Structure 1
Amino acid sequence: MLGIVTFIIIFGVLVLVHEFGHFYFAKKSGILVREFAIGMGPKIFSHIDKEGTAYTIRILPLGGYVRMAGWGDDTTEIKTGTPASLTLNAEGQVVRINLSQKQVDMTSLPINILTYDLEDALEITGVVLDETKTYSVNHDATIIEEDGTEIRIAPLDVQYQNASIWGRLITNFAGPMNNFILGTLVFILLVFMQGGVADESSNQIQVVPNGALAAAGAKTGDRVLSIANHKVSNWAELTKAVEEATTGISTGDEITVAIQKTDGTKQSLKVAPKKQNGQFYLGVKPGLKTGFWDKLTGGFRYAWHAATMIISALKNLISSFSLNKLGGPVAMYQMSDQAAQNGFEDVLTLMAMLSMNLGIVNLIPIPALDGGKILINLIELVRRKPLKQETETYITLVGVAIMVVLMIAVTWNDILRVFF
């Protein structure tokens, strides 16, 4: 149960932070955000702000989404003959189109819709009491969809395609950018929680409880001066010295480790390294830099290291593709479950890594991903004119199809690996 809760929290935070980036910069760019949803599935709460954005909470606690006017698959489709009701203002303009049977307004006008244009002409035509009538639709009118969600209509001037090229570019980049910011902040938080950042330029150590060096009497804060006559002045020399000193020894054999205590006294210890996965270990970690600036910059370094690891893994995936190198929701649940069992710090580490991963993967220039949209923006910038909306839609649909097929394949492969 703890694994499921951890999975939902991590997945939810990553997606909501990503979508909030799109949401915030879309609004700043003059694009109408029709809905900002927390969760998926049927709506359980809805509120429309003065700018026309519907904030909804949905029943399935799995991330969320942003619905921008004219972006992606955001469309308003009304079938010919659909029964609806219209709310008119004092000037006779339509201010609400109700397609839902869940909300009934006794003062509204019943109509069977024949044609409509809610983007350009802003008109709706239908049969009212056996008479065909056409009504003007207010620019800021709302429409109540069949599931009861009330959102603004999307006239052309507030659609994604009519924002400036720079507005569209930053709106598409903002999702991955937010994931990079989140990942970096979580890494910084981890460094502060751990009391500092690893100092690999020093021979000062942290002693792992129950490790070989701890059993010999060493303490955190001590300095390793030499290992079996191999001098040590930093972490790289320490790991090399352990490797050389343990070559050819057997479990239980001892090596000599010279240390300097925190009070300045020196000791020579007999240590029996512990073998794990075919290698011998002393049970130590690098000492810590504990200054505020060290912690802050250390968090940034961890974020950069995580990003370079992910990019390297992507290069390896491209050069030798295999489904076993990919993981879907099942793999993510397994990682969440393991992190939850190991403790809060492991959960934060997983969240930071996945956030960096989500940001980088979304920048891959594949249609349907943010990177694909950014590529289209850059092409438009070079051409000095936008692509046709139909062309962009077809390209996006191809990308969606590819991603859906890949996700199904990855998820099925995860299930086979876990359960069979």
Structure 2
Amino acid sequence: METAIAFIIIFGSIVFFHELGHFIFAKRAGIMVREFAIGMGPKIYGMTKGETMYTIRLLPIGGYVRMAGEDLDSVELQPGYRLGIHLNVNDEIDQIVLNQNKQFPDMLFLEVEKSDLSKEMYIEGYDEEEKLVRYKVARNAVLNENGKETFIAPFDRQFGSKTVGQRSMTIFAGPLFNFVLSFFIFLLIGLLQGVPTYEPVITTVVADSPAAQAGMKDGDLVTKINGNSISTWEELSEEIKLSPNEKMNFTVNRNGQLIEIPMTPKEVTSGKEKVGQIGVQYVSPLEKNPIKAVAFGAEQTYEWTKRIFTLLGTLVSGNFSIDDLSGPVGIYKATEEVAQSGVYNLMHWAAILSINLGIMNLLPLPALDGGRLLFFLFEAIRGKPVDKQKEGMVHFVGIMLLMVLMVVVTWNDIQRFFF
């Protein structure tokens, strides 16, 4: 149960921030957002506020922000439609009813002759006296069809009406917010737990090791090796690795007293290399410093971004197989293991997942944010957009391929963890 709650909170937060990025920049560009959804598939909860419906859906495999003018969003009234209309104080249509079940005071009825609910914003048709009339449609008009209400979206409120830059930023903002979320999680870890100082302090001396035999103690702070100053654990570790079977002189600070400790690292095999080892373990001391916590957040976000890109490089080069990939089931099992090691490790895991989602969405593949940005790049270069039907077909094929990949990866996870 605890794992399920942790998974829902982590995955839900990551998806929420991703979609929040799309949502905020869509609003900034003046685009009407019809739905803000967490999850996919059937709706289990919904709430409408203003012109946007906020929903939670059954399948925890993502989310979306549905913007006016995308895909099949356009509202069209075909000639011959019989509909009811309501006029506001300016004699503009503010309600359009496509069924007879809902009535308004002073409702008028029209048989549509022609209309434009996007640019010119009008409906022309025959009233009950067979007289041809024309009414202007209000910018905030609502269409009611079989009990479902939809705001009419003037063309300047639609996604496609915006500049390439505005559309690109709206799409890019999703992955961007994943990196922002990661930064704030790492920042929070630094503020609450502390920032590693990476000081070369010996945490544990292993019994019967060269360090133990030479007299090194837990808590010794190494200040010099062979007379050369040492300030970080990385420097200490590198010096030892490069000196197998070579006598070294360590200067350590033990309770304020400087002590000289000579020892010879033993030679061990690490991969294809011979390296030195003295037999000590290390856990970096932590320091609570707000300024360093900010730097820690930025540094960790950058380092994990670099690592994930490196991993993607191995996938492209063929050194990584599809069996090594994990889907929601694999992420759930990993979350279960991480949750057992404490809340800070769980926060660290959430930050890594957020970076991973941001990077994966930026890949130039159809149906992903990166694929859409690629089409915007083509539009900027060509000076005109790619044909909508062709782009839609590419994205549709991409979605199908991604769904197949999701099924394969999920099946691999099920076999790996349950059989």
Matched residue, 1:379: 378
Q: Which letter does structure 1 place at the counterpart of 2:315?
A: L
Q: Which letter does structure 1 place at the counterpart of 2:141?
A: A
Matched residue, 1:42: 43
- Structure 2 residue matching 1:139: 3-state secondary structure: strand
Greater Cα offset, 362-371 or 389-398:
389-398
* 1:261 matches 2:254: yes
How far does residue 133 in structure 1 lie from its aligned partner after superposition? 8.4
Looking at structure 1, the residues matched to 344 and 364 of structure 2 have their Cα atoms a distance apart, in angstroms, of 33
Matched residue, 1:4: 4
Matched residue, 2:392: 393
Give yes or no for contact 1:197–1:294 (8 Å, CA) kept in 2: no
Distance verdict in 2 for CA 1:39–1:330, change over 3 Å: closer
Matched residue, 2:364: 365
Decide which of 201, 204, 216 is 1:204's aligned counterpart.
201
Matched residue, 1:20: 20
Q: How does 1:64-213 map to 2 (within 5 A)?
A: 64-72=63-71, 74-76=73-75, 86-90=85-89, 93-98=92-97, 104-105=102-103, 107=105, 117-120=116-119, 122=121, 136=135, 137-144=137-144, 150-199=149-198, 202-205=199-202, 207=203
Matched residue, 1:352: 351
How far does residue 174 in structure 1 lie from its aligned partner after superposition? 0.7
How far does residue 170 in structure 1 lie from its aligned partner after superposition? 0.9
Pairwise CA RMSD:
4.4
Unaligned stretches of 5+ residues in structure 1: 248-255
Looking at structure 2, the residues matched to 269 and 75 of structure 1 have their Cα atoms a distance apart, in angstroms, of 79
Give yes or no for contact 1:232–1:241 (8 Å, CA) kept in 2: no
Looking at structure 2, the residues matched to 43 and 114 of structure 1 have their Cα atoms a distance apart, in angstroms, of 39
Greater Cα offset, 129-138 or 190-199:
129-138
Distance verdict in 2 for CA 1:391–1:280, change over 3 Å: farther
Looking at structure 2, the residues matched to 306 and 100 of structure 1 have their Cα atoms a distance apart, in angstroms, of 55
Give yes or no for contact 2:43–2:57 (8 Å, CA) kept in 1: yes
Distance verdict in 2 for CA 1:110–1:348, change over 3 Å: farther
How far does residue 134 in structure 1 lie from its aligned partner after superposition? 7.8
- Structure 2 residue matching 1:37: 3-state secondary structure: strand
- Structure 2 residue matching 1:366: 3-state secondary structure: coil
**Normalised by the size of structure 1, how large is the TM-score?**
0.77
Distance verdict in 2 for CA 1:290–1:54, change over 3 Å: closer
Give yes or no for contact 2:37–2:56 (8 Å, CA) kept in 1: yes
Q: Which letter does structure 2 place at the counterpart of 1:264?
A: Q
Unaligned stretches of 5+ residues in structure 2: 272-276
Give yes or no for contact 2:37–2:57 (8 Å, CA) kept in 1: no
Q: Which letter does structure 1 place at the counterpart of 2:365?
A: I
Greater Cα offset, 38-47 or 315-324:
38-47
Q: Which letter does structure 1 place at the counterpart of 2:254?
A: K
- Structure 2 residue matching 1:342: 3-state secondary structure: coil
- Structure 2 residue matching 1:350: 3-state secondary structure: helix
Matched residue, 2:300: 302
How far does residue 31 in structure 1 lie from its aligned partner after superposition? 1.8
Give yes or no for contact 2:175–2:361 (8 Å, CA) kept in 1: yes
Matched residue, 1:33: 33
Distance verdict in 2 for CA 1:298–1:93, change over 3 Å: same
Q: How many residues align?
A: 398
**Normalised by the size of structure 2, how large is the TM-score?**
0.77
Give yes or no for contact 1:46–1:149 (8 Å, CA) kept in 2: no
How far does residue 79 in structure 1 lie from its aligned partner after superposition? 9.7
Distance verdict in 2 for CA 1:368–1:73, change over 3 Å: farther
- Structure 2 residue matching 1:286: 3-state secondary structure: coil
Distance verdict in 2 for CA 1:162–1:311, change over 3 Å: same
Give yes or no for contact 1:83–1:111 (8 Å, CA) kept in 2: yes
- Structure 2 residue matching 1:143: 3-state secondary structure: strand
Identity %: 35
Give yes or no for contact 2:127–2:133 (8 Å, CA) kept in 1: no
Matched residue, 1:285: 283
How far does residue 21 in structure 1 lie from its aligned partner after superposition? 1.0
Give yes or no for contact 1:86–1:94 (8 Å, CA) kept in 2: yes
Per-residue Cα deviation, 1:369-418 (whole angstroms, up to 9, x for no partner): 11111111111111122223223222222222222222222222222222
Looking at structure 1, the residues matched to 118 and 78 of structure 2 have their Cα atoms a distance apart, in angstroms, of 16
